[in-house]
Amino acid sequence: MNKGSGKVFGFRQEHDESIGRGHVIHSSPEMSPYLEFVLLQAFLFSKITAGSNVCSSSVPDIDYVLTGHVIRTLKLKTFESCTFSCEIEPKCFSINYVSSQGTCELNRATKDFFPGDVVKQNGAFYLDMVVRQFHRDRDPCESMRCENGGTCVVSPTLKCNCPDGYTGLRCQNLQQLGMESGDIPNDHIESSTFLVDNQAWKGRLNGNSCWRPAQSKNTEHIKVTFVSEKTVFAIATQGSPDNNFWIESYTLQYFADGSLKDTKKVYQANKDGTSIAINKFSQALQNVKWIRIHPRAWHSYIALRLEVYGY
């Protein structure tokens, strides 16, 4: 392998034609010696490919990571062991590395192919592997892995087209209808009764309060009215964020197509006050104007926060 000459960290790096294009890395005065060491290692990290005399190099992107393409996360790794782990993984084409935690993420793609998936993360850096290239003749949708019926499209930008009711880079998330975000107004959330400071509108998922009725009885309920008719896929519930109260099961009624309907099922809910329990319906509820939840069993006292999913 022919050797180039030059310096790094602010100076030009020159190479012979057999080595390829050089890179320039600039360092600021406040850059820590450890970070300089890591960057130097990353800059000099190279590999002679089998059957050739070509030496390649890769320059890290400081404070950036590639999201959505991680195939494996490794803990307590040095930079060297992280890059080696990628070398021996045939599907690895780049890494994200957090030096302070020793966290190593192996990616199945590169930033050049998925620039929209690069996000800022202080204290981390992204690095392409030089032992193999993510070629553009690969099927780009291989790395997308669209979920929940999403369809991968390549042009004008690579993405998953999500069906109604799903969001996220890969359509992996249910679409919220507005309890947590506040898009459902307070006056659209009602209840049979409530305690002072625990009104129905405080029963929003991940909120700092909750709905609590005046008494814990099977006759209590909370009702959410949508601004317009919705298709409902699922309901998420939580208990109280402050007390050891939650509902363990509930039934559901809803108003659609001009009549009151009942799902005729008891849904299992929470086992503590903070975790989220999601119940997805086997068939989506269509043309829903409002839903009403009736607690059927609870721990100590009825307490509820909720979200509704659909479109």
From the number of C-beta atoms within 10 Å of its C-beta (0-12, 13-18, 19+), residue 261 rates as: middle
* 38: phi then psi, degrees, rounded to nearest 5: -65, -45
- Per-residue pLDDT, 53: 47
Tell me, what amino acid is at 222? Answer: I
Say what the pTM is. 0.61
Give 10-residue mean pLDDT values along the chain (311 residues): 36 33 39 48 44 58 92 93 91 92 92 88 91 64 85 80 93 97 98 97 98 97 98 98 96 98 96 97 97 98 98 97
Domain 61-128: CATH architecture, name and number where available: 3-Layer(bba) Sandwich (3.50)
Report CA 25 to chain centroid distance, whole Å. Answer: 31
* The three-state (H, E, C) secondary structure of 266-308, written as one string: CEECCCCCCCCEEEEEEEEEEEEEEEEEEEEEEECCCCEEEEE
Q: Could you give the CA distance from residue 243 to residue 273 in angstroms, rounded to a whole number? A: 7
- Per-residue pLDDT, 21: 37
Residue 50 neighbours by CB under 8 Å, 6+ apart: none
The C-alpha angle with vertex 164 and arms to 163 and 165, in degrees rounded to 5, equals 110
How many angstroms separate the first and last alpha carbons of the chain? 60
Q: Could you give the CA distance from residue 68 to residue 60 in angstroms, rounded to a whole number? A: 18
- Per-residue pLDDT, 136: 52
Domain 140-174: CATH architecture, name and number where available: Ribbon (2.10)
What residues does each domain of the chain span?
A: 61-128, 140-174, 186-310
- Per-residue pLDDT, 217: 96
Tokens of 307: 């979200």
Give the DSSP letter string of 63-103: EEEE-S-EEEEESS--HHHHHHHHHT-TT--EEEEETTTTE
- Per-residue pLDDT, 137: 53
Superfamily of domain 186-310: Galactose-binding domain-like (2.60.120.260)
Helix (H) or strand (E) holding 235: strand 222-238
